[in-house]
Amino acid sequence: MADAKKQPLDDIEAAIEEIMGDQGKAAKPEPEVAPEAEIAPEAAEAMTEETDIVAELTAERDAMRDKWMRALADAENSRKRSERDRREAENYGGSKLARDMLPVYDNMKRALEAIDDELREKASGLVEGIELTMRSLLGIFEKHGIRVIAPEVGDKFDPEEHEAMFEAPVPGTTKGAIIQVMAEGFMIHDRLLRPAQVGVSSNPG
């Protein structure tokens, strides 16, 4: 009996809940979608300042990198110049002394050319000493990169290594041929220390 009374009440309550539920749903306002948040002026100003700072730091970084690259290039150029100067000082530092020694070579060469067989027999020790000194001098020249320029009669005149002391129309020669060697020349490594002094033919035929 209690169950029979409870059933109608349950049905009524269910109906009321259903009606109220539909009304509640209809009456319940839909949640509003929040509009996109607007950026506050303070935030916008802060973002602008940050952008400016980033741009300034980027520019400073680029400037520092450019200075560093230039400094690196200058250091490399300085190193190359120092190496070149060191090499030139090593190769050509004694050029003045070597040039001053050339007359000694010339005089010794003339002395050896003036020795005849009679003098060689009479003063063999002296002659041998002069020849030994000459060989020692040439050895020192070679040690320091000095070589003799020894043109011969008939060779073609080379303005890079020879100095024409005179010209003469010698028969049987061609124009520009060497007709006399007055003094030998010298090179120190790849530089001319003294040109060979020669006479040159001016014979047009």
Written as one letter, the residue type at 11 is D
Query: CB under 8 Å to 146, separation ≥6 — which residues?
Result: 98, 186, 187, 188, 193
Has residue 26 been placed in a domain?
A: no
Based on the fold, state whether residues 58 and 152 are members of the same structural domain. Answer: no
Cβ count within 10 A of residue 99: 14
Q: Output the pTM of the full model.
A: 0.60
82 and 120 co-located in one domain:
no
pLDDT at 10 over 90: no
Query: Which of the residue ranges 2-11, 47-56, 176-185 would you say has the lowest mean pLDDT?
Result: 2-11
- Between 20 and 112, name the one with better pLDDT: 112
Number of domains the chain contains = 2
Note down the domain range covering 53. 46-92
Range of weakest confidence among 21-35, 86-100, 162-176, 178-192: 21-35
Same domain, 170 and 101: yes
Residue 34: strand, helix, or coil: coil
Q: Which structure tokens are listed for 155?
A: 């060779």
Residue 106: its pLDDT value, please? 93
Please compute the mean of the pLDDT values over residues 28-50 and round it to a whole number.
62
In a domain, 10, yes or no: no
Mean pLDDT of 151-174: 93
29-to-23, 46, 59, 154, 192 alpha-carbon distances in Å: 11, 38, 55, 122, 106
Regarding whether 152 and 55 lie in a shared domain, the answer is no
**82 shares its domain with 169:** no
pLDDT reading at 3 higher than 70: no
